[in-house]
Amino acid sequence: MYEDKTLVCKECGQEFVFTAGEQEFYASKGFENEPQRCKACRSARKNAQRPEREMFTGVCAVCGKEARVPFKPREDRPVYCSECYAKKLQEDQGAE
């Protein structure tokens, strides 16, 4: 029913493919207009509207290195650096 279409991004002028699957998805959501921007320009536009996240600094409860987190650390809860947090996630998933 649907066929891939090549469209031109109104932001950067590059061609991009509006796939049959994307067209079907748009139709299922009731969207009547084709996308006017390529995926990269849509993502950039979306991220530009999002306020930058405030980051806080703490000390990793495991290794003692500096940890940057998107919340204000509290003394009663541990903070982990990205490496130790990833290890903790793997351990927690392995325990399930």
**Distance between CA atoms of residues 59 and 4, nearest Å:** 51
Q: Calculate the alpha carbon distances from 34 to 50, 83, 92 in Å.
A: 24, 42, 43
Instruction: Please answer whether residues 45 and 29 qualify as being in contact, where contact means their C-beta atoms are separated by less than 8 angstroms.
Output: no
Query: Residue 21: its pLDDT value, please?
Result: 95
The pLDDT value given to residue 96: 62
Q: Tell me what the mean pLDDT of segment 46-68 comes to.
A: 89
At 53, is the pLDDT very low, low, confident or very high (cuts 50, 70, 90)? confident
Question: Strand, coil or helix: what is 13?
Answer: coil
Query: What's the pLDDT at 1?
Result: 81
Which ranges in the chain belong to alpha helices (H)? 20-28, 39-49, 82-95
The model's confidence at residue 75, banded by pLDDT at 50, 70 and 90, is confident
Per-residue model confidence (pLDDT) at position 50: 78
Contact 11, 37 (CB under 8 A): yes
Does pTM top 0.85 for this prediction? no
Q: How many CB atoms lie within 10 A of CB 83?
A: 13
